[in-house]
Amino acid sequence: MKEWKKFLIMAAIFLGCFYLPVELLPFRNPIFEALALIRWYAREHVLLCLIPAFFIAGAISVFISQASVIKYFGAKANKILAYSVASVSGTILAVCSCTVLPLFSGIYKRGAGLGPATAFLYSGPAINILAIIMTARILGWELGLARAIGAILFSVIVGLLMHLIFLKDERARTSSGDLVVGEEATERTLLQNGLHFASMIGFLVFANWAKPEGATGPWAFIYSIKWYLSFGFLALVGIMLSRWFKKDEVKNWTSASWTFAKQIMPLLLVGVIMAGLLLGRPGHEGLIPSWIIEKAVGGNSLLSNFFAAIAGAFMYFATLTEVPILQGLIGAGMGKGPALALLLAGPALSLPNMLVIRGVIGTKKTVVYVSLVVVMATISGILFGYMTT
């Protein structure tokens, strides 16, 4: 099938999701919730989150030297530097568990080691400064501090464990040269490439800047001018493309971005539908009734913390939505330990997220990665629950 036909099919599916008339359906059940969630996802996360992320991933694949990625994030790179950068990436990106996927796929296929790549994969959605501040403000400083410390430690520990567990595979991957190599630009300076990426990331961050609670403070001011900042960064990207990039480079960039979109979008849409079918939307039930979740996460037992981590891992949380959801669960009797377990597992994982990760690193590595996050979230929840009782 020709590429333009594939694009038209994907565009038609997106428009169908975007304009899905769920209000006209004569029933209210898990199927309705699945359709409602996919429509919400198409409206809120495709145009401003995923599409910019695809272009950033395509730029990583085409404009960043593979040697540079391997030098700073490869299996033999300086571990302190690689994991330090990967573990704090979320403070800059502030993306959700799905938006981070094209970026993760881009650096991994470009030569990043499994350890730093998975550290980046976890930290991208988990270490969101605004989300941590909202957690502390709404749910209490203890939970906010525990989330911040836990998320940074998790990203490093998960990355190191993934590196050690699959050390043999990583060595084979490095020696075989089985890496995706794109066209490498050599005429631009490091500063020019850096400004190009900074402008794209700036658009991604500010276009998705969430409305803060209350009407005052610096976060509220940034929200009030978010579109001026967003379009300013977008204009900078356009100016840079016209002055610093050749037509062939732009063509290679769009081609690489389209490749990521073809690989990732279908899996994400399937995952979102399945998540809606099973768990519904915030405040609405899917096949699993909400009272079961509320009853299962009370107290601070091993089971309650494990259930909170599992539920969080499979649910889809858009950026910042985990805070009001947890506020409701805590009001319904959720313990502090399970609350932290959900905070550490939920924003970084989701069912759509898992399906795409599997397509990038394989089933075995995906199962180990998800298991590490769930187990560590469970243990952290138990410890936090004992410390705060």
Number of other residues whose CB lies within 10 A of the CB of residue 217: 12
Q: Which DSSP symbol is given to 333? A: T
pLDDT at 282: 63
Work out the average pLDDT over 217-244: 85
Question: Model pTM?
Answer: 0.70
Rg over CA atoms, the chain: 21
166 to 70, 110, 115, 362: CA distances (angstroms): 17, 18, 9, 12
CA atoms of 271 and 269, how far apart (whole Å): 5
Q: Where are the domains of the chain?
A: 30-185+245-387
Find all residues with CB under 8 Å of 36, minimum gap 6, and list them.
Answer: 20, 22, 276, 281, 284
pLDDT (tens digit per residue) in 129-146: 667 776 787 778 888 888
pLDDT at residue number 182: 47
pLDDT tens digits along 336-385: 889 899 889 888 888 888 888 988 888 999 999 999 999 999 999 999 98
Mean pLDDT of 317-344: 77
Contacts of 328 (CB under 8 A, 6+ apart): 283
Q: What is the DSSP string of 93-162?
A: H---TTTHHHHHHHHHHTT--HHHHHHHHHHHHH--HHHHHHHHHHH-HHHHHHHHHHHHHHHHHHHHHH
Mean pLDDT of the chain: 79
List all residues 6 or more positions away from 150 whose beta carbon is below 8 Å from its beta carbon: 340, 343, 344, 380
